[in-house]
Chain A
């Protein structure tokens, strides 16, 4: 039996493209597509004509030319004879270092401020309210510049540390020095360099760190297995074996063995001539960016954490108390897992904001991706188009990676709804 829809089939008329909702969406889309293509073609044509008029070919070969400029903070080997591409990588690493540091401190500060604002201690909750409202209503650029100005204008010069009766002195058993050129802290050094031993000296001490990370990772896996076993024993017998000292030993003993074997020691900053040398110099630019971004974003994270905790109804706490759970267990087992569901998504966007705001490094001369690839390289080579394009794509890639990773985490903590 043939299926018949009943209604007579209307023959197609041109006006149906506009008035029939079956075809209208198609018309709109094709129209939008053509407008978009026309616009894109227009832009590309203009760009091409303009580039030809200026006599600039389009290409990325400028990346392999000698950069000719220095970068103060370089996590990998770099000099002014290196290529622009390497300068861009240095800038990218600086961006990432700053982003990771700022995300970590902002989270710690933000969680602390958010929890304290909810505390039933009147004075601390009021202080935290003042902190949050002050910091999130003033542009982050102002905070960065203020921190930078304070560091460079009110800290003593390295020369103040000289002489028998110095005007300034190092703190924490002569291990740290706050100067107007930055903060000097002890740096880790190894007596044995695995990289040199295996003929991969261009990795620096990378191989040593890799070994340490590997040892810790193995310890982590064994620890997890041990804890799982403890749970199994607990389920079978009702008593949980004591594990804390085993865990501690599992992490500490191999680590100490490896560190001693590699000859790990700290190098302290020392005043030599007019400046400090040795250790790690944390430049003003890095500190200003780090502190500025952290305290600003922490104010936002504090509000996110507070909203997350407030979103959990009081009944949950009361139910946990009724079950006989202690306050800290109530927090850990009942409130926090539920609050995390509310907290994590906006927290992700704060991490993205921090990463994007690292591009403000320009204000204090922090050599991030924007200042190397998008700044000096562009100025020196005159390749604005390619440089900006590459930089935007890199930022886009970082953002997408962060949001993907954090979304995976979010999928793990979120309530499994069916």
Chain B
């Protein structure tokens, strides 16, 4: 048998061959490159183009960064140190960075904005992270008043009586619980308005003369730099979300007058550039208010930026409301919940979750739009940069300044977008 076999088949391998290495083109870096960089003609061309671009930028940028000059008092001194070589002159940031941060805020009072920002971190922690202690939420509520007092200074009674308005309104709200929500709301708003319009001023005067607790006041025109961007941005963000929710509900409302007020507001604000609203705040507000009224430019800007962001926020939240299945509304009705309970317990938690990316995008847009205040003479970072570029010492410098300013904005905005992604993952309850 073995003979015949040997005759018909000239050669039969009797031992298993050892396993061979895959061909060199199918392993490691070569395989990865074939699959990810050179898979096809177009891909190869793109890879080569990208490499060329990277090499070009590296060739231009690396010497520029490597020769950075950090100590100089003017651009000409920088150029002297560089001696003809190409190099970045970061000295312009080093010399001016306090101005870029605080504008003309009095240097001996820098501790106040710094303290305000440190406290801001504490105040937003319970809002952003569920692991932060819940008791801090109380601090988040009083923080706006502390921050305003720290930044603008003056007697403590100004912000105290302003806060009192909210407290009185809340007291009125609680006292009338049995009378129904509509009466409660009207009473609370009326009490607060009466307090602010007629009583707050005299009470503050009396209190400050009785107990003069004051820190040095700083006028708004001395604010500037990133401080002003953060102040406007944070105030706009904090105010535009609740207002946006109200307008989104207004637009969804079954009451025609409320609906049309909301639609007109939203569409008007979304139809005009922010810059025209800012000019309205700086040029026209004096026409619209009783003669002699004059209120703070930064406050006006905050109001306008907030209104602008509110319209966009309302549309984003309306999207979330529309994306919610009809059954959720019907289920809330079937449970016998009234409008506000249904909104608070069923609709809003889901609608807001759906619209998180849009909400955060609006926040990011708002924060970037704070740069537009430079047009109405507020010295935000870009305004400071233009002023620095106009001095004889630093004329001709631009990359370093704008890279620095851009990098700071980038950190804030990128951080916000990453946080929104994190939040989406954290709140994800469906199993897709």
- A137 and B409 within 8 A (CB): yes
- Report the Cα distance A412→B79, complex, angstroms: 60
**A residues 102-137 in Cβ contact with B at 8 Å:** 116, 119-124, 127, 133-134, 136-137
Q: Does A380 lie at the interface of the complex (its beta carbon under 8 Å from any beta carbon of B)?
A: no
Measured between beta carbons, the chain A residues less than 8 angstroms from B183 are 18
- B36 and A50 within 8 A (CB): no
- A50 and B291 within 8 A (CB): yes
Measured between beta carbons, the chain A residues less than 8 angstroms from B402 are 142, 145-146, 149
Nearest chain-B residue to A303 (Cβ)? B361
Q: Does A166 lie at the interface of the complex (its beta carbon under 8 Å from any beta carbon of B)?
A: no
- A391 and B46 within 8 A (CB): no
If A133-B414, A388-B280, A399-B271 touch, whether A18 touches B182 (CB-CB below 8 Å) is yes
Q: Does B51 lie at the interface of the complex (its beta carbon under 8 Å from any beta carbon of A)?
A: yes
The segment from B111-119, B157-165, B196-204, B256-264 found at the interface with A is B256-264
Measured between beta carbons, the chain B residues less than 8 angstroms from A392 are 272, 276, 280
Could you say which of A25, A124, A142, A362 contacts B50, with CB atoms under 8 Å apart?
Answer: A124
If A32-B261, A137-B409, A396-B268 touch, whether A374 touches B276 (CB-CB below 8 Å) is yes
- Report the Cα distance A228→B183, complex, angstroms: 68
If A140-B368, A142-B405, A396-B268 touch, whether A123 touches B375 (CB-CB below 8 Å) is no
CB distance from B401 to the nearest CB of A (A): 9
- Interface class of chain B by DSSP: helix
CB distance from B103 to the nearest CB of A (A): 17
CB distance from B67 to the nearest CB of A (A): 18
- Report the Cα distance A378→B402, complex, angstroms: 31
- B288 and A43 within 8 A (CB): yes
- A123 and B47 within 8 A (CB): yes
- Report the Cα distance A49→B330, complex, angstroms: 51
Measured between beta carbons, the chain B residues less than 8 angstroms from A96 are none
Q: Does A225 lie at the interface of the complex (its beta carbon under 8 Å from any beta carbon of B)?
A: no
Q: Does B120 lie at the interface of the complex (its beta carbon under 8 Å from any beta carbon of A)?
A: no
Nearest chain-B residue to A123 (Cβ)? B50
Q: Does A157 lie at the interface of the complex (its beta carbon under 8 Å from any beta carbon of B)?
A: no
Measured between beta carbons, the chain A residues less than 8 angstroms from B12 are none
- B257 and A29 within 8 A (CB): yes
- Report the Cα distance A50→B283, complex, angstroms: 13
- Report the Cα distance A149→B270, complex, angstroms: 30
**B residues 290-325 in Cβ contact with A at 8 Å:** 290-291
Q: Does A370 lie at the interface of the complex (its beta carbon under 8 Å from any beta carbon of B)?
A: yes
Interface residues on B, range: 35 or more
Could you say which of B39, B270, B406 contacts A142, with CB atoms under 8 Å apart?
Answer: B406
CB distance from A176 to the nearest CB of B (A): 21
- B43 and A121 within 8 A (CB): yes
CB 8 Å contact bits of B396-432 with A (1 = contact, 0 = none)? 1011001001100110011001000000000000000
**A residues 144-160 in Cβ contact with B at 8 Å:** 145-146, 149-150, 153
CB distance from A414 to the nearest CB of B (A): 15
- The number of A-B residue pairs with CB atoms under 8 Å apart is 154
Q: Does A19 lie at the interface of the complex (its beta carbon under 8 Å from any beta carbon of B)?
A: yes
- B46 and A124 within 8 A (CB): yes
Q: Does A317 lie at the interface of the complex (its beta carbon under 8 Å from any beta carbon of B)?
A: no
If A134-B410, A141-B372, A399-B270 touch, whether A121 touches B36 (CB-CB below 8 Å) is yes
- B47 and A46 within 8 A (CB): no
- Report the Cα distance A122→B375, complex, angstroms: 42
- Report the Cα distance A149→B60, complex, angstroms: 18
Measured between beta carbons, the chain B residues less than 8 angstroms from A119 are 43, 46
Q: Does B16 lie at the interface of the complex (its beta carbon under 8 Å from any beta carbon of A)?
A: no
Nearest chain-A residue to B43 (Cβ)? A121
- B288 and A46 within 8 A (CB): yes
Q: Does B131 lie at the interface of the complex (its beta carbon under 8 Å from any beta carbon of A)?
A: no
- A362 and B288 within 8 A (CB): no
- A139 and B371 within 8 A (CB): yes
Could you say which of B270, B374, B396 contacts A153, with CB atoms under 8 Å apart?
Answer: B396
If A362-B275, A399-B270 touch, whether A141 touches B50 (CB-CB below 8 Å) is no
Interface size on A, residues (CB 8 A): 59
**A residues 241-282 in Cβ contact with B at 8 Å:** none
Could you say which of A25, A47, A363 contacts B375, with CB atoms under 8 Å apart?
Answer: A363
**A residues 395-412 in Cβ contact with B at 8 Å:** 395-396, 399-400
Q: Does A312 lie at the interface of the complex (its beta carbon under 8 Å from any beta carbon of B)?
A: no
Q: Does A329 lie at the interface of the complex (its beta carbon under 8 Å from any beta carbon of B)?
A: no
Measured between beta carbons, the chain A residues less than 8 angstroms from B289 are 46
If A19-B180, A50-B287, A400-B271 touch, whether A127 touches B50 (CB-CB below 8 Å) is yes
- Report the Cα distance A150→B398, complex, angstroms: 8
- B256 and A142 within 8 A (CB): no
Measured between beta carbons, the chain B residues less than 8 angstroms from A18 are 180, 182-183
- A121 and B283 within 8 A (CB): no
Measured between beta carbons, the chain A residues less than 8 angstroms from B371 are 139, 141-142
Measured between beta carbons, the chain A residues less than 8 angstroms from B375 are 362-363
- B51 and A123 within 8 A (CB): yes
**A residues 28-48 in Cβ contact with B at 8 Å:** 28-30, 32-33, 36, 43, 46-47
- Report the Cα distance A400→B410, complex, angstroms: 32
CB distance from B197 to the nearest CB of A (A): 13
The segment from A73-81, A208-216, A353-361 found at the interface with B is A353-361
Measured between beta carbons, the chain A residues less than 8 angstroms from B275 are 359-360, 362, 370
If A127-B54, A388-B276 are given as contacts, then 14 extra A-B residue pairs at C-beta distance below 8 Å, sorted by A number, are A29-B256, A43-B288, A46-B291, A49-B290, A123-B46, A124-B46, A138-B410, A146-B402, A150-B398, A356-B273, A356-B274, A384-B283, A388-B279, A396-B272
A-B contact pairs, 19 of them (CB 8 A): A47-B287, A121-B43, A121-B46, A123-B47, A124-B46, A124-B50, A127-B50, A127-B54, A141-B371, A142-B405, A142-B409, A360-B275, A374-B276, A385-B287, A388-B280, A388-B284, A391-B276, A392-B280, A395-B273
**Residues of B near any A CB (own CB < 8 A):** 35-37, 39, 43, 46-47, 49-51, 53-54, 180, 182-183, 254-258, 261, 267-268, 270-276, 279-280, 283-284, 286-291, 364, 368-369, 371-372, 374-375, 382, 386, 389, 396, 398-399, 402, 405-406, 409-410, 413-414, 417
Q: Which 10 A-B pairs rank lowest in CB-CB distance, beginning with the nearest?
A: A137-B413, A122-B36, A399-B271, A396-B271, A149-B398, A356-B273, A139-B368, A359-B273, A29-B257, A138-B406
**Residues of A near any B CB (own CB < 8 A):** 18-19, 24-25, 27-30, 32-33, 36, 43, 46-47, 49-51, 53, 116, 119-124, 127, 133-134, 136-142, 145-146, 149-150, 153, 352, 356-357, 359-360, 362-363, 370, 374, 378, 384-385, 388, 391-392, 395-396, 399-400
